[in-house]
Structure 1
């Protein structure tokens, strides 16, 4: 399945409504994905749990096809995938599901989890919650690029460490963590390794079997699928990973995640995964080229602009930059048609700095001068030039 050359109006980046360059936040649904989903809202509307008639069988077939498509993308068995509603749900499930499983096995054993201080909030807040429940949690510091250091991880591992959870590609600054090395260390120490791969799928090669990943979360809407559709990979052997359900009920998804399945969204995730797999090399190369062009043009147009995150070990679609001394608030009136993400939020007169930017040592003042541009499937070279023109034109002379 190839990428369609005709984007829907919702997917067009350049229009009278503006220029969308916030693909790290969400992506438009690929027209091929939407077309595959549509019948499951209408003629294929059955409940996949209805095993006594063809309406249910048809829906179940759609779910199982999607499971195979997603498994093929990440190098897993289809039986190792459980569909969820979001990567946030998957992340929470790993932490709370593992905790209850461990305590069932041995209520009195000490439990130690490790993560970092630049994770997605769904990991950080869940870790803070289990910390209140008696789990010992270490939040690793990161280097100047927002990456964890293997030696730092090695130093905090304890005899009762049960889980290491680290983001693969940082959602704000785009830096790539040394996931393969982390997984190898965890396997040697017999510690489960979970990664939030929401920003990694489609941007870096992923093979959970070869890379010894035990648990992995990811979401459809970051790879041109629908919102409300995601999955959790749970390793089936060597070792067989077991976590308790987060949602109880009718026993769907082998009893791991009860609730009537969102069939259209799951079908959409499957098709998005197939497109992603078939076009990975071409799309990755194009995105990297556009990202590099954007950075070259920004440097030429805006002296003193600074890149955040690793200069090369970063997402193919992400640029996070700081304009020293120029707040994004001051540029806002002139960049309203440019869809980008800022590095701080202002509420009731006080500035809230992103925890990721704070984690790499950025001051609150610089965070107000920081923004993220993220490119996507329908970003063109002319869009890159236009974005630079808009930003350059907004800066006071």
Structure 2
């Protein structure tokens, strides 16, 4: 039996494993030693972890000693978003500020009491309101806060003014974390240039293994008083448990691959993204491209065609051989109302139809052509049904 080729355009949910990553993981899986053991087998496993730590650090301009491996971006965010995250010798934050369009791992995964959390609004393009943030920080005065904002939104690709927000926060002696899960490996990311204190990453957005991520600190002058996973002294005490050597090695290989051709790949994906977006506008001139006036990731766009429900459209595209998403894939796999679009003020009936196209290292020109062909069929079928029902 032969199968027609499928077009995978859901890299923001997970990017297919890079071939070099698969080879690295397989090799690391065959290492017999525990990385905490002092014998030769243990030292070989430890060497794999430290090589990967250096590669992940280089992806974001950090120092390897400040990279803490976790089970993914969600755990990394849960670990750092706590009143116990602080500079050495200082008290932790009394309040948490989060953007309204943040990923659920931030909105629901932090460890602050609900009454100590404030939500920063975004404009109709999904960009954080810095005027509101400044006013709120002024209101708090000398009270220390922790700010968490994403570098790039997972549903729309919108980039946030992280460096500007970091300056506002640091002027008041407070701390800032950024969720860089979607941005790292797609645009240049430098932890020092951004001026942030902590960053979280996830390997499977880069073509690495699922189930491995990292918390990256700006320096070794930070501590977390209330660890999530306690026991042994692994990861310099930040996260206990025997390290997943194979997944960590794969993370390093993915980071190295993403960094090697970062600028050229961004331009290639931007060209493909713009072509796919143009095809949607040609097929459905009344389509809404979400946040089209904002600066976005080069690989992402979200669109809605009036009258087309996301749940129906996803099935239709899937049957046509094209994998898309309606937003975050981190919940239950169900299509549900987007808090991101609500925060942006997108009209509810349109928001119900928003689809996300996200490209990646394996995307080709042929994929864009197949997407356009599928889109034409889906829209044509929709309007035929509407006409027959009229």
TM-score between the two structures when normalised by the length of structure 2: 0.89
Please show how residues 113-192 of structure 1 align to structure 2 within 5 Å.
Answer: 113-127=96-110, 130-132=112-114, 136-157=116-137, 158=140, 159-192=142-175
Inter-CA distance 360–32: structure 2 relative to 1 (3 Å threshold): same
What residue in structure 2 maps to residue 28 of structure 1?
A: 16
Once the 2 structures are TM-superposed, how far is the Cα of residue 269 of structure 1 from its aligned partner? 0.6
Question: 1:265 pairs with 247, 263, 272, which one?
Answer: 247
What residue in structure 2 maps to residue 99 of structure 1?
A: 84
Once the 2 structures are TM-superposed, how far is the Cα of residue 260 of structure 1 from its aligned partner? 0.2
Q: Using the alignment, how far apart are the partners of 1:223 and 1:385 within structure 2?
A: 24
CA contact (8 A) 1:344 1:351 kept: no
Q: Number of aligned residue pairs: give it.
A: 368
Output the aligned Cα RMSD.
Answer: 2.2
**Any idea what the Cα deviations from partners look like across 1:331-360, whole Å, max 9, x if unmatched?**
455322221112599xxxx98411111111
Q: Using the alignment, how far apart are the partners of 1:88 and 1:351 within structure 2?
A: 20
Inter-CA distance 255–367: structure 2 relative to 1 (3 Å threshold): same
Inter-CA distance 222–100: structure 2 relative to 1 (3 Å threshold): closer
Q: Using the alignment, how far apart are the partners of 1:100 and 1:206 within structure 2?
A: 22
CA contact (8 A) 1:117 1:140 kept: yes
What residue in structure 2 maps to residue 327 of structure 1?
A: 309
Is 1:356 aligned to residue 345 of structure 2? Answer: no
Once the 2 structures are TM-superposed, how far is the Cα of residue 325 of structure 1 from its aligned partner? 1.9
SS of 2:194 mapped into structure 1: coil
What residue in structure 2 maps to residue 210 of structure 1?
A: 193
SS of 1:232 mapped into structure 2: strand
CA contact (8 A) 2:93 2:145 kept: no
TM-score between the two structures when normalised by the length of structure 1: 0.88
Is 1:45 aligned to residue 29 of structure 2? Answer: no
Question: 1:371 pairs with 355, 359, 365, which one?
Answer: 355
Question: 1:19 pairs with 7, 10, 21, which one?
Answer: 7
SS of 2:222 mapped into structure 1: coil
What residue in structure 2 maps to residue 68 of structure 1?
A: 54
Is 1:236 aligned to residue 219 of structure 2? Answer: yes
Gaps of 5+ in 1: 1-14
Q: Using the alignment, how far apart are the partners of 1:311 and 1:378 within structure 2?
A: 27
Q: Using the alignment, how far apart are the partners of 1:268 and 1:186 within structure 2?
A: 35
**Any idea what the Cα deviations from partners look like across 1:229-272, whole Å, max 9, x if unmatched?**
111011225xx222132211011111111000000000011111
SS of 2:10 mapped into structure 1: coil
Q: Using the alignment, how far apart are the partners of 1:342 and 1:142 within structure 2?
A: 20
Q: Using the alignment, how far apart are the partners of 2:229 and 2:152 within structure 1?
A: 28
Gaps of 5+ in 2: 385-390
What residue in structure 2 maps to residue 11 of structure 1?
A: none
Once the 2 structures are TM-superposed, how far is the Cα of residue 57 of structure 1 from its aligned partner? 0.4
Q: Using the alignment, how far apart are the partners of 2:57 and 2:90 within structure 1?
A: 30
Q: Using the alignment, how far apart are the partners of 2:375 and 2:278 within structure 1?
A: 14
Q: Using the alignment, how far apart are the partners of 1:78 and 1:254 within structure 2?
A: 12
Is 1:294 aligned to residue 282 of structure 2? Answer: no
